[in-house]
Amino acid sequence: QLRAIHHSHARQVVMMALCLLAHAFIEEVSRALLECPLPLDSDAAGMWRTLARTEAICHSHRLLDVLLKELQERPSTSEDKAFIIPLAAASALCEVLSVSICAQTVARFYPRLLMALLVQVHYAIGLSLPDSGVSRKELIPACCVVKTVKTLLLKMGCHYEFTSVEKEGGWELLTSSEEHHRGVGLLARAMVHYSCRELWRILYLLVPFLERGDKQHKLTAMAFFVELLHMPQAKRLPEKYSVIRLLKGLTDPDPVIRALCVKGLITMADWPGKEIKFLVPAMINSLCEVDGRLVVEALADVKKILRGLDGASYVGCITSPLRLLFDDERVSVRSAAISLFGNMVKKVKKSQGLMKEEDVLDSMIPLLLHLQEGNPDMAEKCKNALDECSRFLQWRLPKQVGNRKAWHNHQEDVDEICQYLVKTHQENVQRFLFQSQCYLSSTQPSLRRAAAMFIGFLVMRMDNMMRMKDLDIISNALGGLIHDPEASVCIFAAQAHERVLAVYWKLKYGLVEQRKVNSDSAEKHKSPPNPPATPSTSSRLFNALSLWKLAAKH
């Protein structure tokens, strides 16, 4: 009947009387209040605050016991009403936290409340409440629970942590099904950075958390636990609850769990008495078929990966999956993988035997071609990685590699680079030629264009080092690009095709050897038949453009 009482003083008297009566039956009253429709109206919210005040005065924690128990349950919706009890408990807790005299009781429950709320956010993603004439955001269950998480942090004095997560967009990450674990990790890192006083309690709470619960429960707990391994107190954990627990996680069916376990094991790489280096192959194998961004995040701490490794096989098994990510469709993953690869090469010396020369050679052409993406940040990372590769190989790359000019406006730069490779590193040019051919079918027009230009000039400089069979394959591949939907690719593929054909006819009719023979005894040998006339560069470009326009119309 509270709604019928309009006088504020009278409402307070009745509310206090109700709460005094409810004190003896707090469990029953709390469960009844949890069935109030969401979002809470002013009467229900006021009742929760008054109950909390009464419980605090009586030095009782039964109310928080009830709310915590409900927060640890997975939400479910009934057919007639959205009585989502765990979400109602989160809304109720938000009201309880607004009561100042509850601070001491809340501090006792803080670690369990925080973890229960973070798991509850994960549960609530994708759920919805029926429209009740309130703002849309208040109807999103995950946002409602995040609001309670914010209130709890501020109640515990975690103002710096709150601000840090806010700046990094952590609250939005928490409410995303794909990014939830990143939001949890961001919060945990902020708490470690600012030395939150309750972290050690959370750490020891998480040990049993990792052994029970469903997918959302384990994923949230693991994301938080992995970041807490940066705490000095974490080194005291028994191996059963640290290394062995994460090692078991490497075989988890969830790829996010596997990536988080790799990240955690790397964090422990410099712990005394922990031989993590022997687990590196198993860690890398667990990242097979894992999302590229997760791989980059898991392997980010390059110093700890390399420290103490004593064989090339270890680093090699790390660099191989990174090279595959150079061509990931997401620019953020490509950029991060190239940056991490460059850092790894920077940390090793050739004399250490930690990295094979083949691993670096196999990366040269991908890095060179990705320089031509047209992305300044990507170009910077590729340039840095190429510098480290040349240092490792003890090469002196021509200045044209690092000037970052667009090849389609400066073809002379491509020619200089190819001339250098053929002249100085002749034993590797076949490898480079093969690598560049893979990019003729790239989904990125800039890479197809760059690959075509590189192949054209490299074949021209290799000249009689080429085999007829290889030239046929390259010619057919470049000819296919004449129908490319991107006009610039079509044009430069035609130019490259012209260069390849020139070498083809040169080899077919032995023009190089013939010139040498003719200079010695011109009268003893007949000149070879003239090669079939090939269209001029301008006519070939015209034909290429015509084909491209025709394909575009169809």
Neighbours of 285 (CB within 10 A): 13
pTM over 0.95: no
CA 451 to chain centroid = 27
**Rounded Cα distance, 547 and 554, in Å:** 11
Query: What is the Cα–Cα distance from 104 to 438, expressed in whole angstroms?
Result: 64
- Express as a percent the part of the chain with pLDDT over 90: 36
Grouping H, G, I as helix, E, B as strand and the rest as coil, residue 81 is coil
Angle between helices 85-97 and 62-71 (to 10 degrees): 140
pLDDT tens-place string over residues 378-387: 999 999 999 9
47-103 residue pLDDT tens:
899 889 888 888 788 899 999 999 998 887 655 454 578 989 999 999 999 998 888
CA torsion sign, 85 to 90 to 94 to 99?
positive
* Local structure of residue 355 (DSSP, 8 states): S
Per-residue pLDDT tens for 510-541? 665 433 323 333 333 333 333 333 444 444 44
Whole-angstrom CA distances from 484 to 327, 457, 550 are 20, 20, 11
CA distance 465 to 254: 50
Token pair 């109807």 is at which residue? 139
Report d(CA 554, CA 545) in Å as an integer.
Answer: 14
- Asked if residues 494 and 534 have their Cβ atoms less than 8 Å apart, the reply is no
The arithmetic mean of pLDDT across residues 384-413, rounded, is 87
The Cα–Cα gap between 136 and 157 comes to 29
Instruction: Tell whether omega for the bond before 398 is within 30 degrees of 0, i.e. cis.
Output: no
Max CA-CA distance within the chain? 126
CA distance 509 to 518: 14
Task: Identify the weakest region by mean pLDDT among 129-133, 298-302, 370-374, 502-506.
Answer: 129-133
- What's the mean pLDDT when you consider all of the chain? 82
The pairs formed by 313-320 with CB atoms below 8 angstroms and a separation of 24 or more are: 313/281, 314/277, 314/280, 314/281, 314/354, 315/344, 315/348, 315/354, 315/355, 315/359, 316/355, 316/356, 316/359, 317/280, 317/281, 317/284, 318/280, 318/284, 318/344, 319/344, 319/355, 319/359, 319/363, 320/359
Contact present, 316 and 357 (Cβ < 8 Å):
no
When pLDDT is averaged across residues 482-487 and rounded to a whole number, the result is 89
Instruction: Give the span between the Cα atoms of 322 and 299, in whole angstroms.
Output: 9
